[in-house]
């Protein structure tokens, strides 16, 4: 008990961070998941990114920002596996935002698991958006 009381400030910071990430994910994860195109996972390969032809200076800046946000979501999702929050959904959203080799295959594999797909489609239904479309062969239990 003495060791816990000796680190009381650290515990308050962890509690505050946990509460902040929980509230942020309740707002941001659904915001991004409902904005995915319904056919985002219906193809074998990733489709052309609409903003890829932007200005040569603007594109790297946007990629850098998108990857930073994706990494933040991924790390927050990993933390939320141990702290309160929507850990798996946050991790999926982080992976969606990152630009890494094999990303689309990893996204498709994650989204093909019924609990994850069911959760995302529930959010999309509540927002009045169509369900995500997958190949029938991709869906697993």
Number of domains the chain is built from: 1
Q: What pLDDT was estimated at residue 129?
A: 93
Rounded CA gap, 122 and 120, in Å? Answer: 5
Q: pLDDT truncated to tens, each residue of the chain (141 aa)?
A: 677 667 778 778 777 877 777 787 778 778 888 888 888 888 777 666 665 666 777 888 888 998 998 898 888 888 878 766 677 777 877 887 888 888 888 878 888 888 989 988 998 999 999 999 887 555 555
Q: What pLDDT was estimated at residue 50?
A: 62
Domain of residue 104 covers 2-138
Which candidate, 74, 81, 133, places its Cα nearest to that of 99? 74
DSSP H stretches of helix in 98-138: 103-111, 114-126
Q: What pLDDT was estimated at residue 53?
A: 67
């Amino acid at each position: 008990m003495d060791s816990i009381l000796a680190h009381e400030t650290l515990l308050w910071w962890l509690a505050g961070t946990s509460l902040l990430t929980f509230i942020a994910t309740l707002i941001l994860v659904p915001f991004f998941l409902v904005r995915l195109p319904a056919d985002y996972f219906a193809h074998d390969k990733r489709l052309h990114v609409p903003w890829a032809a932007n200005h040569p200076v603007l594109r790297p800046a946007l990629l850098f920002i998108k990857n930073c946000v994706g990494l933040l979501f991924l790390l927050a999702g990993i933390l939320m596996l141990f702290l309160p929050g929507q850990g798996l959904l946050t991790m999926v959203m982080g992976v969606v935002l990152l630009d890494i080799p094999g990303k689309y295959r990893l996204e498709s594999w994650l989204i093909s698991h019924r609990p994850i797909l069911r959760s995302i489609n529930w959010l999309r239904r509540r927002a009045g958006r169509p369900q995500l479309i997958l190949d029938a062969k991709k869906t697993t239990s």
